[in-house]
Structure 1
Amino acid sequence: MFSKFFSAHVSGIDAELVEIETDIASMGLPSFNMVGLADASVRESRDRVRSALKNININVFAKPITINLAPADFKKDGTHFDLPVAVGLAHSGGFIKSQSKDTLFAGELSLDGKLRGVNGILPIVICAKKAGFKKIVIPFENADEAAIVSDIDIYPLKSLDEVLHMMDAPSAYSPYKIDVNSLFAKNSSYIEDFTEVKGQKTARRCAEIAAAGMHNLLMIGTPGSGKTMIARRLPGIMPDMSLEEAIETTKIHSVAGFVRSAKDLKCTRPFFAPHHTSSNISLIGGTSKTVPGQVSLATNGVLFLDELLEFNRSVLETLRQPLEDGEVTIARASKTVTYPAKFMLAAAANPCPCGYLGDKTKQCTCSSSQISKYRSRLYGPLMDRIDLHVEVQSVDISDLSSLDDGESSEKIRLRVQKAHNTQMKRCGKFNSRLTEKELKNYCKLDSQCAKIIETAARKYSLSARAYSKILKTSRTIADLEGSAEIMPKHLLESLQYRMMSD
């Protein structure tokens, strides 16, 4: 008997529909064949499905069985095909009557028939909704992740037996619901606050500009000056995550296997700080399974590279494409996937090998050749892609001993949110992501401003990219001050954050 059920294949952060066709022949020797370009994880499902069905007293394995995953023109992977295969066999064997053509199935089976959570459920649910399915049956472990998608009924169940019972008695089960707004409110708090940062007026100002326009930020300063403190507090002053941003970020984390409960849903700006010994693959993504790297996991948030100059140069060079394009493409022999990489880069470095060049209290012990060699690691192509460069001086003792708190993250965030709202109304995106065409429309300069930037471009030999970065940060500074036009003071402030390296 022939049956057809539906599931989906995850590729990158998206999914595409897969038909699970099952056929149990009436005559022939027992066999269990799976066709349709199934990889090892899918082919292994034969043993899991066989045991799961037998343990709920369903035996269909005395006859020839053929499973086809259609279309057969791309390779399928993932253990979530276990459930639709098992349901298809149960239907082909006559153990259930309903074929549930409006339902999509995804879930891994244990040998005793229990359902286990799987990676990538969120893209699968979104695929099911777009394809017009009314219901999706998934493991209970993935309930919260799936339920953030509206306009499709989510049925999170715990066992194969329960799934088969629901198919024949659907009225006995209700779809799972969560309040997305309350979930956002519950998961949207930040612990670290800018009140804890003493002094550092210029660095704090740069952090505010960076957060408002999603601009990349480099801080160079002595050890203990507060570079890491400032970077870790950036997510707390960035604009609120929109639902679209939250879903995009959660999809990436879902594919990576980091979403299992409501607390794992990404309602706050992510912050990732890879160690300076990290490899290309851990940062960019890869392996044979093409998993997303930290540049993708940090999408819509902050990627912080502490001790920037200690990173391997080849690792830093891999950042050039995602910084420019906002995405990263991972190519392997079996497949090629593209992940978003729309992060804000925050980087910190010491000014010299000993760390105390220019410090007011400690003397630098490095030779000029050591300093020159160390600074040469700040190579041009990467520096050109960083909008804001700021020197962070050691904190004055009077600031450290002061009982007065600095400005809170909430106060800064309100200004940032206002500037962000202005950007969204104007062009629907952060200023850092403006195209060259949009720059001409939204970053128009009067004659005085044009003369200022032309003089700076000639004097400091600014590249075309640096020129654009200065205009974008000027636009953000103007937005923070509520100015519709870029004024000379906005442009001059933006220029001063490029002079350290240009």
Structure 2
Amino acid sequence: MVVRIHTVAFEGIEVVPVDVEVALTSGLPAFTIVGLPDKAVAESRERVRAAIGAIGLGLPPKRITVNLSPADLPKEGSHFDLAIALGLMAAMAVLPVDELDGYVALGELSLDGRVNPVAGVLNAAVFAAGDDRGLICPEVSGPEAAWAGGLEILAPASLIALVNHFKGTQILAPPRARPPAAAGQGPDLRDVKGQESAKRALEIAAAGGHHLLMIGPPGSGKSMLAARLPGLLPPLEPAEALELSLIQSVAGQLAGGTVSRRRPFRDPHHSASQAALVGGGQRAKPGEVSLAHRGVLFLDELPEFQRGALDALRQPVETGRAVVARANAHVAYPARFQLVAAMNPCRCGHLADAGLACAKAPKCAADYQSRLSGPLLDRFDLAVEVPAVSVGDLALPPPAEGSAEVAARVAAARAAQAARFTGTGIATNAEMEGEVLDRHATPDAAGRALLIEAAQRLRLSARGYHRVLRVARTVADLAGRAGVARIDVAEALSYRRREPAG
């Protein structure tokens, strides 16, 4: 007799159904797991053996064969433990086979029989609901699974609790989804004194979802400005929050199973590797670009990042997807994020101040900024100088306008974009391309003449030309204009990056 238990494997955020087939046959006692298991899956034998022993059962003196089907799909992770244990107990007639057929099971087992949390429970719950099955998952992961809705969920704390439930001596209460996490009060733009040009660029970036590069000396407020960007952005739409939660679940970062509508803000250290930024590693896990999906990825000290890691950002910045290719895995993660970066103009950071600049100025600026490839810099929609703040500005009282006022204008601009792009799959101006870009961002005659002249003088690439149009469309949205005027194009052009002096 062969017993089948349903579980899943993960390819990115996609779920692949896997059947755990358990057979007890005559022969010398042995416990074998086949079906391309990795080290964690192969070690399930010892965890399952100990967990079943902890509830007072012993494995039969037979040849135990566990096949993870399809056999040519690599199996990774410890979440197969629970399905293997359930299959064994069903083969031993401890649990009813027919009832288990209606569930998808995943969870890691402790040696004492406890069911430990694993990554990907929300993804598995969504799959199980679509397959008209229930879900068996760890107790800690129950609230996470409950967000899928429309399915029966069993969330036992231990293996014995699950056995008792099926025996009818204990009833497992269905888990409840926890309320969405409150957005909370982030840092206020009112804390930043001076830097009006940078604040304007930040507002445009928030309104249109544009990528922003800030260049200025140490202590000028670049990191302060970036940290206040999430407070200007509207909350995630329900579909966006679900997509982000699926990524966080696979990465094991859905804290407490609580879904939030606050847009993510990721700020990795400049020592981050290419795999950490765009995804990869042994199990092709999502990187920072995917964990920042529909939010902000802030890279401080941009030239200090590894050049290969930065150049790997070029594809996800353009396509909104991070593709991780490995010999045994080829997965794609959503990565529609806003890239915000900050950098000093040179290594010493004081290029514009003759009294503080190093002896190599201005040549050091060109050397320092040459660490960044031209194609990467061309992908920034806005580049703004953030000069040192004067003592006079610091002594002024806080500005009258803070994050709430700017966020209101951003929300109005985003609402106009939502109405404009209904049914197109586009969320912000930064995503416009092709016919949609031509239809909604073509300026009036005066604006077109200015753009053509500036494109020739500045030698803009085709990408740079289109990015100017997108920014101009956002400037017009903030002003409440239906069309793009010459003044909108002029402001958009002012944010194109200039080459360093020297």
Residue in 2 that maps onto 1:457: 455
**Residue aligned with 1:80, SS:** coil
**Residue aligned with 2:73, SS:** coil
Instruction: Measure, in 1, the Cα distance between the counterparts of 2:169 and 2:195.
Output: 62
Q: Residues 155 and 472 (structure 1 numbering): CA distance in 2 closer, same or farther, change over 3 Å?
A: same
Instruction: Measure, in 1, the Cα distance between the counterparts of 2:481 and 2:60.
Output: 73
Residue in 1 that maps onto 2:199: 204
**Residue aligned with 1:157, SS:** coil
2:297 to 300, 303, 314: 303
Residue in 2 that maps onto 1:46: 45
Instruction: Measure, in 1, the Cα distance between the counterparts of 2:316 and 2:148.
Output: 28
Instruction: Measure, in 2, the Cα distance between the counterparts of 1:421 and 1:361.
Output: 48
Residue in 1 that maps onto 2:29: 30
Task: Describe how 1:72-471 pairs up with structure 2 within 5 A.
Answer: 72-100=71-99, 101-133=101-133, 135-169=134-168, 172-178=171-177, 183-184=179-180, 186-262=181-257, 265-359=259-353, 365-427=359-421, 428-471=426-469
Contact 2:217 2:345 survives alignment (8 Å):
yes
Q: Residues 170 and 495 (structure 1 numbering): CA distance in 2 closer, same or farther, change over 3 Å?
A: farther
Instruction: Measure, in 2, the Cα distance between the counterparts of 1:363 and 1:43.
Output: 59
Cα deviation, residue 468, structure 1: 0.7
Q: Residues 144 and 73 (structure 1 numbering): CA distance in 2 closer, same or farther, change over 3 Å?
A: same
Cα deviation, residue 359, structure 1: 4.4
Instruction: Measure, in 2, the Cα distance between the counterparts of 1:247 and 1:315.
Output: 28
Instruction: Measure, in 1, the Cα distance between the counterparts of 2:357 and 2:320.
Output: 41
Instruction: Measure, in 2, the Cα distance between the counterparts of 1:34 and 1:262.
Output: 31
Please list the CA deviations of residues 422-451 of structure 1 after superposition, one character each: whole Å capped at 9, or x if unmatched.
212221411111122221122132222211
Instruction: Measure, in 2, the Cα distance between the counterparts of 1:31 and 1:467.
Output: 67
Instruction: Measure, in 2, the Cα distance between the counterparts of 1:170 and 1:203.
Output: 65
Amino acid in the other structure paired with 1:217 = L
Cα deviation, residue 362, structure 1: 5.4
**Residue aligned with 2:137, SS:** strand
- Taking only aligned residues, the RMSD between alpha carbons, in angstroms, comes to 2.1
1:480 to 465, 478, 481: 478
Amino acid in the other structure paired with 2:2 = F
Instruction: Measure, in 2, the Cα distance between the counterparts of 1:198 and 1:61.
Output: 74
Please list the CA deviations of residues 390-431 of structure 1 after superposition, one character each: whole Å capped at 9, or x if unmatched.
011222323211223452212211211221122122214111
Contact 2:266 2:298 survives alignment (8 Å):
yes
Amino acid in the other structure paired with 1:230 = L
**Residue aligned with 1:104, SS:** strand
Instruction: Measure, in 2, the Cα distance between the counterparts of 1:238 and 1:361.
Output: 39
Please list the CA deviations of residues 215-249 of structure 1 after superposition, one character each: whole Å capped at 9, or x if unmatched.
10001112111111001111111121122222222
Instruction: Measure, in 2, the Cα distance between the counterparts of 1:164 and 1:171.
Output: 9
Instruction: Measure, in 2, the Cα distance between the counterparts of 1:256 and 1:430.
Output: 26
Contact 1:87 1:164 survives alignment (8 Å):
no
TM-score, length basis structure 2: 0.93
Instruction: Measure, in 1, the Cα distance between the counterparts of 2:409 and 2:257.
Output: 30
Q: Residues 154 and 411 (structure 1 numbering): CA distance in 2 closer, same or farther, change over 3 Å?
A: farther
Instruction: Measure, in 1, the Cα distance between the counterparts of 2:41 and 2:15.
Output: 16
Contact 1:354 1:365 survives alignment (8 Å):
no
Residue in 2 that maps onto 1:58: 57
Please say which of residues 207-216 and 353-362 is displaced more in the overlay. 353-362
Cα deviation, residue 12, structure 1: 1.0
Contact 1:3 1:99 survives alignment (8 Å):
no
Please say which of residues 253-262 and 488-497 is displaced more in the overlay. 253-262
Number of aligned residue pairs: 495
Please list the CA deviations of residues 437-492 of structure 1 after superposition, one character each: whole Å capped at 9, or x if unmatched.
22112213222221111111111111000011011111111122222211111111
**Residue aligned with 2:98, SS:** coil
Amino acid in the other structure paired with 2:382 = L
**Residue aligned with 2:8, SS:** strand
Contact 2:215 2:344 survives alignment (8 Å):
yes
Amino acid in the other structure paired with 1:53 = I
Amino acid in the other structure paired with 2:484 = I
Q: Residues 231 and 170 (structure 1 numbering): CA distance in 2 closer, same or farther, change over 3 Å?
A: farther
Unmatched segments (≥5 aa) in structure 1: none
Cα deviation, residue 257, structure 1: 2.2
Identity, in percent, stands at 40
Cα deviation, residue 94, structure 1: 1.0
Runs of 4+ in 1 over 6 A off after TM superposition: none
Cα deviation, residue 336, structure 1: 1.8
Residue in 2 that maps onto 1:19: 19
Amino acid in the other structure paired with 2:441 = C
Cα deviation, residue 155, structure 1: 2.4
Amino acid in the other structure paired with 1:419 = A
Cα deviation, residue 499, structure 1: 5.1
Q: Residues 215 and 173 (structure 1 numbering): CA distance in 2 closer, same or farther, change over 3 Å?
A: same
